[in-house]
Amino acid sequence: MKPTYIKISVLATMLSMASCSEDFLVKTDPNAIAAADFYQTENDVLLGLNGAYQSLRNNNGIAEGSGLYAEQRSDNTGTNDNQSNAGEPFQFNDFSILPSNTYLRSHWLALYQIVTRANQVLAGMEGIPFANPQTKAQYQAEAKFIRALAYFHLVRKWGDVPLVTQPLNSADAVRASTFREKKEKVYEQIVADLTEVANSSLPDVQPAAQKGRVSKVAGNALLGQVYLTMATTLDAANRATNLNQAKTFLTNAYSKRTFGLLKEIPYADVFDVTKKSTNPEIIFQIVYRQGDVNFASGIAASNQAQGETINSLRTTTGVGGNVKPDLVKDYEEGDTRKDFSIKFANAANVRDYFITKYRDTSPAATTNGWGGNDWILMRYADVILMLAEVNMYLGDEAAAISLLDQVRDRAKLPLYNVARTNSAYSAKYPTLKLAILHERRVELAFENHRWFDLLRFFTPAELVTYFQAKPQADYGAAKVSNFGPKDYYFPIPFDEVKLNPEKMNQNPGY
């Protein structure tokens, strides 16, 4: 096998089966079976689909430990340690990332592993007899949602990327796919996949036993977010059309909620491990199993700073999940989300804020920190604030403010029209747009939304201005002055560029 094929064949060969949920954990390992031979029955398709869900658990991809690739790329968090692991993690927040960064390459491969498993399932189920055709349609919708989700991350982080929608089973197929497709084409595929999900026979909301699986609400919500992103980051000629499509699908998702106003659901309940399967605000989550060495969540323990016990029973010696002063100062006085989400650690080696949003101190999590937290990828506060954003862009400020107020009301903060009479608030957020961006920041902190919000709210040039206006003292050890136009996208990993320097051309500035 040629070296070129070895490097990219990860897109064609990765297929391991396990599940992302407590109720459909699969121990079988069909890696020992050729993919072409594996799919023989309807149950094989289910196992393959569970394997696609399992790939979402990879912390190098989009799971609970993936903050390095999103949150630490923003102004919310970021390590101050520029020495560990050859300084490579520090590069993300310091805006000094190199194409040779091994963490970056791992992220690229993890996202394409998700794509690969979804493609294998979609191809494998063709020709398989199903007792009920609706079951096949639902499996297809789930696999297409997973593929679309991965590509949505890829296109926002790298721009033009290889677009692969079939299993790559030969060296020729790999070579034919080794090129960067225009981002507009990638978005077309994402929209096509999610439109099928939104129109599918999937349940609007999955029952508690099936939490972690895709629902129709999730399909509508993600499709609405995709259209909103297209409206704000692609060709302005299609802006109005994309905004109206975003409003349609986000409204579809919002209309299917099983509660009234957001304030009916306490903020702390959203992250309560005892309510994670029944909380009506959560739309889509990666499920973890409390107390299980293989399937437990580690986010509570890993975020905890030395000398603290609020997150986990596990004793830790590090600084925990770092929080930048820039974010700490963005919380308004009286915001109940601040005390729940962050805490100051007094240990001599810390003396800083750390993340407390994810907690599991129950005995079942043990002193090993094997928590039961689920990683929430989508929830209704996000949908509500995206609807506020869409209505603001469409000129309906009254509707935008009403939606914004739902979130502020739950946080026990003055409603927007009252808040903006406060000189300090109006000075920091002089426009409704900046007020919505602020609300998204404090509501969704540490949920890996902030970087993508900044990409939507600012043009590349505006984003440079925004970052470079931040005081260095509020940013930590990383140099905010490093941020420039190149940082709108990640560099293409060096190993991928080597495959075909012409067709896998590097992003500008790297």
Q: Is the pLDDT of residue 6 over 60?
A: no
508 is a domain residue: no
Confidence at residue 35, expressed as pLDDT on a 0 to 100 scale: 66
Which tokens belong to 48? Answer: 């393959």
Mark whether 229 and 301 lie in a shared domain: no
Which tokens belong to 502? Answer: 């012409």
Mark whether 140 and 268 lie in a shared domain: no
Confidence of residue 505 (pLDDT cuts 50, 70, 90): very high
The whole-angstrom separation of Cα 216 and Cα 194 is 10
Q: Is the pLDDT of residue 266 over 50?
A: yes
Q: Is the pLDDT of residue 109 over 50?
A: yes
Q: What is 345-402 written as a DSSP string?
A: E--TTT-EEEE-SS-B-SGGGTTTT-B---EEEEEHHHHHHHHHHHHHHTT-HHHHHH
Confidence at residue 13, expressed as pLDDT on a 0 to 100 scale: 36
Q: pLDDT tens digit string along 227-265? A: 999 999 999 999 999 999 999 999 999 999 999 999 999
Confidence of residue 3 (pLDDT cuts 50, 70, 90): very low
Confidence of residue 100 (pLDDT cuts 50, 70, 90): very high
Of 373, 390, 409, the position where a domain reaches its end is 373
The residue behind tokens 């020729």 is: 172
Mark whether 188 and 238 lie in a shared domain: no
In the chain, the number of structural domains is 3
SS (H, E, C) 66-104: CHHHCHHHCCCCCCCCCCHHHHHHHHHHHCCCCCCCHHH
Mark whether 339 and 259 lie in a shared domain: no
Mark whether 213 and 239 lie in a shared domain: yes
Mark whether 160 and 271 lie in a shared domain: no
Of 346, 373, 400, the position where a domain reaches its end is 373
Confidence at residue 9, expressed as pLDDT on a 0 to 100 scale: 36
**Percent of the chain whose predicted confidence (pLDDT) is above 90:** 92
Q: Is the pLDDT of residue 409 over 90?
A: yes
268 is a domain residue: yes
CATH number at residue 127: 1.25.40.390
Q: By residue range, what is the domain housing residue 450?
A: 203-279+379-454
Mark whether 217 and 112 lie in a shared domain: no
Of 343, 373, 403, the position where a domain reaches its end is 373
Amino acid at 241: T
CB burial of 24-58 (b: ≥16 within 10 Å; e: otherwise) equals bbbeeebeeeebeebbeebebbbbbbbbbbbbbbb
Mean pLDDT computed over 453-462: 98
161 is a domain residue: yes
Confidence at residue 21, expressed as pLDDT on a 0 to 100 scale: 41
Confidence at residue 36, expressed as pLDDT on a 0 to 100 scale: 66
Confidence at residue 37, expressed as pLDDT on a 0 to 100 scale: 80
Asked if 133 and 140 touch (Cβ cutoff 8 Å), the reply is no
Q: pLDDT tens digit string along 267-322? A: 999 999 999 999 999 999 999 999 999 999 999 999 999 999 999 999 999 999 99
Lowest-confidence range among 17-31, 160-174, 188-202, 456-470?
A: 17-31
CA distances from residue 422 to 203, 426, 437 in whole angstroms, order as listed: 45, 6, 18
Pick the more confident residue, 473 or 4.
473
Amino acid at 39: Y
168 is a domain residue: yes
Q: Is the pLDDT of residue 1 over 90?
A: no
Mark whether 463 and 446 lie in a shared domain: no
What is the model's pTM? 0.93
Mark whether 387 and 367 lie in a shared domain: no
407 is a domain residue: yes
Residues present in the chain in total? 510
232 is a domain residue: yes
161 phi/psi in degrees, rounded to 5: -140, 160
Confidence at residue 367, expressed as pLDDT on a 0 to 100 scale: 98
Mark whether 168 and 24 lie in a shared domain: yes
Mark whether 212 and 319 lie in a shared domain: no
Mark whether 62 and 172 lie in a shared domain: yes
Mean pLDDT computed over 198-208: 97
Q: Is the pLDDT of residue 395 over 80?
A: yes
